Amino acid sequence: MVDRIRENARAAALLAGVFDFDVSRLDPVEPVRLASGGQLRVVAGDASGGSFFVCDDGPVLYAGSEGSAGVVAADPDEVVRLVVGVPTWHDVVADAPDVQAMLASFESSYAEMREYEPRIDEFRSEAAAELGLGPVAVDELLASLSRCLTELSPGYVLLNEDGDAYDPL
């Protein structure tokens, strides 16, 4: 999916400009490594300095620039579905594992997003069409995000160059 984004200028522009998933930004704020010794590959960054890493066996770990990290998707395709389907995903992670609370947070933050980006629904549809994403319900995306944060994240502890662990998302 990430390669498909790089090959599609319109999709890359939408993801970077609207969904804060920039596949050309591959420079993490600081050197990091997994506590397990596993491999990390940066696949995208966001405007706040955060990075999306694919771990050696597939899950996508997000590391924020302020020292928090966690697995947000089971694989690169799923992270793209997440950022398009739940563009305010940062606002819901604190409510995991309660998917209903996550949904309430999403509805609130998405309503705010619509105020400053009234075309967000159109952009979501366009990005999904450009990338051939099938429809996935928001509650399914949130349930998957919750599972990743609570079940997968503990196995993917991110360390900074001093060996200090990032805080959970």
Give the pLDDT confidence of 2-17 residue by residue, as tens digits.
888 999 999 999 999 9
Domains of the chain by residue range = 25-160
**Token pair for 38:** 């596993």
Those residues whose C-beta lies under 8 Å from the C-beta of residue 160, and which sit 6 or more positions away, are 30, 31, 32, 67, 166
Write out pLDDT tens, residues 65-107: 999 999 999 999 999 999 999 999 999 999 999 999 999 999 9
Torsion of CA 143, 148, 150, 154, to 10 degrees: 180
